[in-house]
């Protein structure tokens, strides 16, 4: 039987392997891995309403300064823009530009293929099980 603590070593190893590959895929499109996820979050959540910096801070669980730096970097590339909202001039919503939408769709197609390859040998039940276990670990980090 595997020592309960050993699971963290394999989680760390797999995380590093996946991050490296995602960075390589995103790099082919002129992005970093985190920038590709950033575009995905804006793309996915824009359908449900406006996306603000504070939303991205929560989604990524990172500091305000890190999100601000990310916004500036991706904005310089022309993939997003900040738009003021009429109800509160102090905050801006984050919007994908048409170029940003195209870039996201390009990189997303490659990332979906990679993710499909990673999970091809797993049943839906196994994927659900792993997801639920990792979610429990994530939830426990917040207690």
- Helix axis angle, 6-27 relative to 98-119, nearest 10°? 140
For residue 83, name the pLDDT band (cuts at 50, 70, 90). confident
* Calpha distance 139→126 (Å, rounded): 20
pLDDT at position 87 over 90: no
Distances 20 to 13, 23, 32, 56, 120 between C-alpha atoms, Å: 11, 5, 10, 22, 19
pLDDT at position 49 over 90: no
* Calpha distance 101→109 (Å, rounded): 12
pLDDT at position 74 over 90: yes
pLDDT at position 53 over 90: no
* Calpha distance 39→2 (Å, rounded): 38
- 6 or 98: which carries more pLDDT confidence? 98
| pLDDT tens track for 128-138 | 999 999 999 98
Distances 47 to 19, 55, 130 between C-alpha atoms, Å: 27, 14, 28
Residue 80 DSSP SS3: strand
Helical H segments across 28-63, by residue range:
33-46, 53-60
State whether CATH 3.40.50.300 applies to domain 10-141. Answer: no
pLDDT at position 103 over 90: yes
| pLDDT tens track for 8-41 | 899 999 999 999 999 999 999 999 999 998 899 8
pTM of the model: 0.80
For residue 5, name the pLDDT band (cuts at 50, 70, 90). confident
């Amino acid at each position: 039987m595997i020592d309960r603590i050993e699971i963290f070593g394999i989680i760390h190893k797999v995380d590093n392997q996946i991050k490296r590959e995602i960075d390589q895929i995103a790099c082919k499109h002129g992005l970093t891995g985190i920038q590709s996820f950033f575009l995905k979050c804006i793309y996915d959540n824009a359908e449900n309403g406006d996306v603000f910096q504070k939303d991205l801070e929560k989604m990524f669980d990172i500091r305000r300064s890190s999100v601000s730096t990310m916004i500036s970097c991706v904005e310089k590339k022309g993939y997003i823009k900040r738009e003021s909202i009429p109800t509160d001039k102090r905050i801006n919503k984050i919007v994908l530009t048409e170029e940003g939408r195209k870039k996201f769709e390009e990189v997303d197609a490659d990332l979906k293929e990679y993710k499909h390859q990673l999970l091809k040998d797993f049943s839906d039940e196994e994927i659900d099980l792993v997801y639920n276990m990792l979610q429990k670990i994530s939830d426990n980090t917040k207690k």
